């Protein structure tokens, strides 16, 4: 392994960034702000922190490198610790939500931008850091965008106070360097010239402007991928899809087809025997992710089926072919429904360009777009809209308020969100009792900000804690914080079987709602001697439940700490456990209340009055006619609007809360926001 480390280390000298090493170190030394751009794969993320570390730039504090995606933070930290020959978690470590692999000794710390925000909450002047690198700036994730402004403030504070210099480096693949530079006092931009090879682009015309259903594009992607495999010369394939379930479906289909066909093709005198199919998405286990970077055995073609994570955050070597679905899963604030919704939307043209470019890193490549030119022209925007302009700002605004930033409208945003989005966030915070009428953070708001959870879940959890029934709510919050608990197989046989098993769990849990079902799975696994076997039998992702165990422990620790530090409210109750859970949920989810209207459809009560249906994955699907009022955790929009993770409630529980939805005046809030 020592030998492989050495060769890999010499590999890193071949990266484009290596030739600019000394100049880069110099530039960081000379400037407070610096922007570094360069093609994806040029070595920014893995190399620059090492250069700065070795140049002794972090003698007075560590280097923090932020990433919008947790997987990127973890894999990159693994890679860099390996290159440096140190154990992960020592000199090189990472921290992502619910997973901290760093110590006091960690000098290069890769972390999500969300974790960096939390560090600022804990220590405004970031005294443990000498350099903060905001990586993947082009992604324009909500938290990175807020960090742009916050670090500007931190900096002015630090340069007046302590002697140790504090530096900010912003790294991005391309894009908007001028805007960033003028935002940071016209700081210099360091460009790493990249070498790229031409990529031939082809429209396969299988998707037109009207196709948006995932079952359509998954099939077409599979078809094109198999065509590439059978017709094209050796070289690995990278397929861009939208999310875990679509990726798993596509991989299943690829496996299935690969079984039927005999994979032994002689293409241009090169035998490509088989297809090594590897999924890649955010919540995948890390050991499985490592496989992605390893070269395929001789004569075998590697085919990575990935989310957007492979567009810029992670670079896989040896990719010659891209198959682009043209879609991405994106969190958007839907003003019709008044909620944030994870939607499948067409990518932007710049994103399409970025995806295609992945095939031209080491040699000329080809990009197969399953969609038509017409689709590209009519459905795709030029650029992706920054997250801050399209999602709920509730958490971020609470963070800013807790940092003492009262004027949240004139905060230095790189791109300002629409004022009404800020007002919506303030209104929600007011509804959760996190801020008062004057826009000041309440005691409850200060407790809420401590939890790395969405505000509604935190509100429910704090209510449960006040009632002394956190043992019921903690597991639910944990289960809602991990991905996909229930396995939903693609093949019809599996689907039936899974459905029966899930119904059994529901029946066991009293069959009353989806939250109690999550609690039931959690408790069943914890009580079982063979939880993995139990999960397998019941079509449950054991890995997800295992992470929920860890999340639950961490949430419990936060709660315990808050209880010790604060004078915690106590309330009394007398009702059953499941009723208690439902009442607590109402406190957090009264913004997501619906009442049954006609037939199986429900009408939301937040003033939008949208018509929604219960999603087939809910244990209440089919029970609609027996229901009246419900709350729901999230919304899924396909051709219809579905609510998922549903719980029936009694009107009395929300009766006093619902007026809060309309009580406060937007005008009052806007002046409060601007004070
Ligand atoms: P950039 O940040 O400029 O996009 P990176 O520093 O992420 O570039 O990647 C530089 C090189 O390191 C890439 O060519 C990639 O192949 C390699 N690399 C990065 N992470 C890993 C990993 N986990 N395993 C193997 N190679 C990796
Ligand atoms: Mg990078």
The answer to whether the CB of 75 is under 6 A from ligand 1 is yes
Sign of CA dihedral 600, 512, 453, 249: negative
Q: Does the structure show a pLDDT above 80 at 221?
A: yes
d(CA 627, CA 658): 19
Q: How far is the CA of 617 from the centre of ligand 2 (A)?
A: 37
Q: How far is the CA of 77 from the centre of ligand 1 (A)?
A: 11
- 456 Ramachandran zone, left/alpha/beta (phi>0; psi -120 to 50): alpha
The answer to whether the CB of 38 is under 6 A from ligand 1 is yes
Atom of ligand 1 nearest to the CA of 46: 6
Taking Cα atoms as reference points, which of 49, 104, 39 lies closest to residue 73? 49
Dihedral angle of Cα 437, 440, 444, 447, to the nearest 10 degrees: 160
The answer to whether the CB of 45 is under 6 A from ligand 1 is yes
Q: How far is the CA of 139 from the centre of ligand 1 (A)?
A: 17
Q: How far is the CA of 67 from the centre of ligand 2 (A)?
A: 9
- Which is more confident, 472 or 578? 472
Residue having the nearest C-alpha atom to atom 7 of ligand 1: 45
Q: How far is the CA of 76 from the centre of ligand 1 (A)?
A: 8
The 3-state secondary structure of 20-83, one letter per residue: HHHHHHHHHHHCCEEEEEECCCCCHHHHHHHHHHHCCCCCCCEEEEEECCHHHHHHHHHHHHHH
CB-count exposure of residue 442 (10 Å: 0-12, 13-18, 19+): middle
3-state DSSP call for residue 112? strand
pLDDT tens column, 303-344 = 999 999 998 888 898 999 999 999 999 888 876 666 778 888
Residue having the nearest C-alpha atom to atom 17 of ligand 1: 315
d(CA 497, CA 477): 27
DSSP letters, 294-308, are: SPPPTTEEEEEEE-G
Q: Does the structure show a pLDDT above 60 at 254?
A: yes
Atom of ligand 1 nearest to the CA of 47: 6
Q: How far is the CA of 134 from the centre of ligand 2 (A)?
A: 10
Q: How far is the CA of 315 from the centre of ligand 1 (A)?
A: 5
Residue having the nearest C-alpha atom to atom 15 of ligand 1: 315
d(CA 254, CA 223): 9
The answer to whether the CB of 42 is under 6 A from ligand 1 is yes
Q: What pLDDT sits at residue 471? A: 93
pLDDT tens column, 374-397 = 999 999 999 999 999 999 899 999
Q: What pLDDT sits at residue 595? A: 95
d(CA 464, CA 471): 8
Q: How far is the CA of 43 from the centre of ligand 1 (A)?
A: 6
d(CA 74, CA 111): 8
d(CA 543, CA 313): 24
pLDDT tens column, 514-548 = 999 999 999 999 999 999 999 999 999 999 999 99
Residue having the nearest C-alpha atom to atom 5 of ligand 1: 43
Taking Cα atoms as reference points, which of 169, 140, 163, 166 lies closest to residue 45? 169
Distance of CA 128 to the CA centre of its chain: 26
Pairing type for strands 339-346 and 327-334 reads: antiparallel
- Which is more confident, 366 or 675? 366
Q: How far is the CA of 79 from the centre of ligand 1 (A)?
A: 8
The answer to whether the CB of 289 is under 6 A from ligand 1 is no
Residue 86 pLDDT grade (very low, low, confident, very high; cuts 50, 70, 90): very high
Q: Does the structure show a pLDDT above 70 at 160?
A: no
- The per-residue pLDDT of the chain, averaged, comes to 89
The answer to whether the CB of 293 is under 6 A from ligand 1 is yes
The answer to whether the CB of 315 is under 6 A from ligand 1 is yes
Q: What pLDDT sits at residue 571? A: 78
Atom of ligand 1 nearest to the CA of 317: 16
Q: Does the structure show a pLDDT above 80 at 287?
A: no
Cβ neighbours of 349 (radius 10 Å): 15
d(CA 434, CA 449): 9
Q: What pLDDT sits at residue 1? A: 58
Structure ipTM over 0.90, yes or no? yes
Q: What pLDDT sits at residue 83? A: 95
Q: Give strand pairing partners of 280.
A: 306
Ligand approaching nearest to the C-alpha of 138 = 2
- What angle in degrees, to the nearest 10, is found between the helix axes of 394-402 and 455-467? 70
φ, ψ of residue 639 to 5 degrees: the values are -75, -20
d(CA 555, CA 520): 18
Q: E strands within 496-614? A: 593-596, 602-604, 611-614
Q: What pLDDT sits at residue 448? A: 95
CB 545 within 8 A of CB 485: yes
Out of 46, 47, 284, 288, give the residue to mutate to test ligand 1, the one with the largest number of ligand atoms within 8 Å of its CB.
Answer: 46
Ligand approaching nearest to the C-alpha of 37 = 1
CB 177 within 8 A of CB 37: yes
Look up tokens 């919704």; give the residue.
341
Q: How far is the CA of 39 from the centre of ligand 2 (A)?
A: 9
Residue having the nearest C-alpha atom to atom 21 of ligand 1: 79
- Tokens for 597, please give them: 């209207």
> For 643-662, what is the mean pLDDT?
87
CB 91 within 8 A of CB 105: yes
Q: What pLDDT sits at residue 332? A: 85
The answer to whether the CB of 40 is under 6 A from ligand 1 is yes
The answer to whether the CB of 112 is under 6 A from ligand 1 is no
List the alpha helices (DSSP H) in 161-213: 177-183
- Which is more confident, 297 or 104? 104
Out of 8, 77, 79, give the residue to mutate to test ligand 1, the one with the largest number of ligand atoms within 8 Å of its CB.
Answer: 79
d(CA 393, CA 247): 29
> What does R_g of the chain's alpha carbons equal in angstroms?
25
Q: How far is the CA of 417 from the centre of ligand 2 (A)?
A: 26
Ligand approaching nearest to the C-alpha of 77 = 1
Atom of ligand 1 nearest to the CA of 171: 2
Out of 65, 315, 361, give the residue to mutate to test ligand 1, the one with the largest number of ligand atoms within 8 Å of its CB.
Answer: 315
């Amino acid at each position: 392994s020592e030998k492989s480390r050495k060769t890999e280390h010499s590999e890193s000298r071949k990266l484009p960034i290596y030739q600019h090493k000394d100049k880069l170190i110099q530039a960081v030394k000379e400037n407070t702000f610096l922007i570094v751009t360069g093609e994806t794969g040029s070595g920014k993320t893995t190399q620059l922190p090492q250069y700065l570390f070795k140049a002794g730039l972090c003698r007075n504090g560590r280097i923090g490198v932020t990433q919008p995606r947790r997987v990127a933070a973890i894999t990159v930290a693994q890679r860099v610790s390996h290159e440096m020959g140190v154990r992960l978690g020592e000199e090189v470590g990472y921290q992502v939500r619910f997973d901290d692999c760093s110590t006091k000794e960690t000098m290069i710390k890769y972390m999500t931008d969300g974790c960096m925000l939390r560090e600022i909450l804990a220590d405004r002047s970031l005294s443990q850091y000498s350099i903060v690198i905001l990586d993947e700036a082009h992604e324009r994730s909500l938290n990175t965008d807020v960090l742009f402004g916050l670090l500007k403030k931190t900096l002015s504070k630090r340069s007046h106070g302590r002697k140790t210099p504090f530096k900010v480096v912003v790294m991005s693949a391309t894009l908007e360097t001028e805007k960033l530079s003028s935002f940071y006092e016209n700081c210099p931009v360091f460009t790493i010239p990249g070498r790229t090879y031409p990529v031939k682009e082809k429209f396969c015309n299988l998707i037109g402007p009207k196709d948006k259903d995932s079952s359509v594009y998954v099939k077409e992607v599979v078809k094109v991928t198999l065509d590439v495999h059978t017709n094209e010369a050796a070289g690995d394939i990278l397929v861009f899809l939208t999310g875990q379930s679509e990726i798993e479906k596509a991989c299943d289909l690829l496996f299935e087809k690969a079984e039927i066909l005999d994979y032994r093709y002689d293409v241009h005198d090169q035998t490509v025997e088989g297809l090594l199919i590897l999924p890649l998405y955010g919540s995948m286990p890390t050991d499985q992710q490592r496989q992605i970077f390893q070269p395929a055995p001789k004569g075998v073609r590697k085919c990575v089926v990935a989310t957007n994570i492979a567009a810029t955050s992670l670079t896989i070597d040896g990719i010659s072919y891209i198959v682009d679905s043209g879609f991405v899963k994106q969190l958007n604030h839907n003003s019709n429904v008044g909620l944030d919704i994870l939607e499948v939307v067409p990518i932007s043209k710049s994103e399409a360009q970025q995806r295609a470019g992945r095939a031209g890193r080491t040699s000329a490549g080809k990009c197969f777009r399953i969609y038509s030119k017409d689709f590209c022209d009519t459905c795709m925007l030029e650029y992706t809209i920054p997250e801050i302009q399209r999602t709920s700002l509730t958490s971020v605004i609470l963070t800013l308020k807790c940092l003492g930033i009262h004027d949240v409208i004139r905060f230095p945003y790189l791109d300002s969100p629409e004022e009404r989005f800020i007002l919506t966030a303030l209104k929600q915070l007011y509804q959760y009792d996190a801020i008062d009428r004057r826009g000041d953070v309440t005691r409850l708001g200060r407790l809420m900000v401590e939890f790395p959870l969405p505000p509604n879940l935190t509100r429910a959890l704090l209510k449960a804690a006040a009632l002394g029934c956190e043992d019921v709510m903690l597991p639910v919050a944990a289960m809602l914080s991990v991905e996909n608990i229930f396995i939903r197989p693609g093949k019809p046989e599996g689907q039936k079987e899974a459905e029966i098993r899930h119904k059994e769990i529901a029946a066991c849990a009293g069959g009353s709602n989806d939250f109690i079902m999550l609690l039931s799975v959690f408790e069943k696994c914890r009580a079982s001697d063979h939880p993995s076997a139990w999960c397998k039998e019941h079509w449950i992702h054991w890995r997800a439940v295992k992470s929920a165990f860890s999340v639950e422990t961490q949430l419990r620790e936060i709660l315990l700490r808050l209880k010790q530090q604060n004078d915690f409210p106590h309330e009394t109750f007398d009702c059953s456990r499941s009723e208690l859970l439902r009442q607590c949920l109402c406190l957090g989810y009264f913004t997501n209340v619906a009442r049954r209207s006609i037939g199986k459809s429900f009408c939301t009560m937040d003033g939008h009055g949208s018509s929604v249906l219960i999603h087939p994955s809910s244990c209440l699907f089919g029970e609609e006619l027996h229901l009246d009022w419900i709350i729901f955790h999230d919304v899924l929009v396909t051709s219809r609007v579905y609510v998922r993770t549903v719980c029936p409630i009694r009107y009395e529980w929300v009766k006093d809360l619902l007026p809060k939805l309309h009580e406060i005046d937007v005008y009052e809030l806007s002046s409060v926001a601007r004070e």
